[in-house]
Amino acid sequence: MTATFDVINPATEQVVETVELTSAEQTDAAIGRAVAAGPAWRAVAPGERARLLRAFAEAVRADQENLARLEVANSGHTIGNARWEAGNVADVLHYYAAAPERLFGRQIPAPGGVDITFAEPLGVVGVIVPWNFPMPIAGWGFAPALAAGNTVVLKPAELTPLTALRLAELARSAGLPADVFQVLPGKGSVVGQRFVEHPAVRKIVFTGSTEVGKRIMAGCADQVKRLTLELGGKNANIVFADADLERAAASAPYGVFDNAGQDCCARSRILVQRNVFDRFLELLEPAVRGVVVGDPADEKTEMGPLISAAHRSSVAAYVPDDAPVAFRGHAPDGPGFWFPPTVLLPSSPADRTVVEEIFGPVVTVQAFDDEADAIRMANATEYGLSGSIWTRDVGRALRVARAVEAGNLSVNSHSSVRYWTPFGGVKQSGLGRELGPDALAAFTETKNVFLATED
């Protein structure tokens, strides 16, 4: 009997669709097909591969509204966010469509001959995608991998497979050859594990929890398999006294409560200089209470539900009845995995809400004394993915940005991801970089060739 999984709409708790789960044997067969498709795909002329990727991008763009509404049901994302996410897939495909014709090697001076390098595709790339951003994170993996001449097998999260399956259909309709890009819905312990174990999969791209990332890294070590990891985050939003406090407070909820806080880049620790701490809280409260939480299909909604009942229970465990709640926003009653935007004032820097990644709409606010204190507090975490710095002092912004241990920082902004710039973490937030002009290096191997010119 074929195993299946019911995809649940997080806003209604209703079944959206029942999806067949890929078995280990089916995974091996798909990897075999990807291997067989590899030689022809890498032999496609660079201009033709670019054309196919542009056609794929245009197919995604034409289907953007359908993909967005599917994501609303698939993962509970607000319709505005879901439209951006589908558009991001198209943008990333367009960006990397320029890559096949620009995969330059080098000519290196060498005595007695000519030395040249080639950027060769790796082979089969396994992309493992989380449930919090199913479309964009998939695109960040498969677009540069395909552009570099690799074939791709992609495992969407078990909870949210629908948009990935639709993207595979769009790839085929755009003319990508069969088996060059395959989507395999299934369990991580089955499909993901075969990606790690199968010797024909030459690289893994994984986004998810640090705990699972460590297990994947250990599994890849056995075959010295290439790996890109984008893992957890416990990011600081540092607000100095000279900042535009009104703007910093008004934007802070959207730096953490976007996607219901289910974001590794969420600024879930707000650090405020002590002499403006009380004023900042006064400004923050109406901003938090003003976040519109509700039906994700409604154009006015700013925050939707959590992904599942189990995840809601996990988030709620961080806010027991005696939690130091400063204030809360609102959330609907009735069906759906709702949790209100919540602001905590922890009394200890060792409190679990300060240290652990909650991955929900819960933010802590703490006071710091000076620049050195802010940097110390920001770095007091095993993670290092993202963060924000609010100040009018450009010198301070640069000093603090250089001192904070994080892969992506924004000054007077909460932006973390732009497809034309590198993205990734330090410490236990990950390994390697995605997006931007350098991502292709993660999907190619440098081959060096020396041609002797002397007898």
Structure tokens at 403: 């001192």
Residue 263 has a pLDDT of 97
| Cβ 299 vs Cβ 288: under 8 Å | no
Mean local confidence (pLDDT), 333-353: 97
pLDDT at residue 26 greater than cutoff 80: yes
Per residue in 108-166, pLDDT (tens digit) is 999 999 999 999 999 999 999 999 999 999 999 999 999 999 999 999 999 999 999 99
Query: Which residues are CB-contacts of 56 (< 8 A; sequence separation ≥ 6)?
Result: 93, 170, 171, 174, 175, 176
Could you tell me the sign of the dihedral formed by the alpha carbons of 168, 438, 390, 377, in that order?
A: positive
- 438 — pLDDT class (breaks 50, 70, 90): confident
pLDDT at residue 1 greater than cutoff 80: no
Beta strands in 76-200 (DSSP E): 107-110, 113-121, 124-128, 151-155, 181-183
pLDDT at residue 454 greater than cutoff 90: no
Mean local confidence (pLDDT), 285-298: 98
DSSP codes of every residue in 233-250: ---EEEE-TTS-HHHHHH
Bridge partners of 368, per DSSP, are 273
Mean local confidence (pLDDT), 375-401: 98
User: Would you please indicate which residues are annotated as catalytic (active-site) residues?
Assistant: 230, 264
| Cβ 109 vs Cβ 446: under 8 Å | no
Residue 363 has a pLDDT of 98
Give the C-alpha separation, 54 to 97, whole Å.
6
Per residue in 262-289, pLDDT (tens digit) is 999 999 999 999 999 999 999 999 999 9
Strand 236-239 to strand 387-390: parallel, antiparallel, or no bridges (unpaired)? Answer: parallel
Residue 343 has a pLDDT of 98
Mean local confidence (pLDDT), 185-190: 97
Q: How far is the CA of 288 from the CAs of 96, 252, 256, in angstroms?
A: 38, 8, 10
| Cβ 65 vs Cβ 299: under 8 Å | no
| Cβ 145 vs Cβ 443: under 8 Å | yes
- Give percent above pLDDT 90 in the chain: 99
Residue 452 has a pLDDT of 97
Q: Which of 7, 105, 95, 12 is nearest to 338 (CA)?
A: 12
Global pTM value? 0.97
- 56 — pLDDT class (breaks 50, 70, 90): very high
**What's the burial of 43, exposed, middle or buried (CB within 10 Å: 0-12/13-18/19+)?**
exposed
Mean local confidence (pLDDT), 377-395: 98
Q: Which of 107, 118, 111 is nearest to 453 (CA)?
A: 111
- 2 — pLDDT class (breaks 50, 70, 90): confident
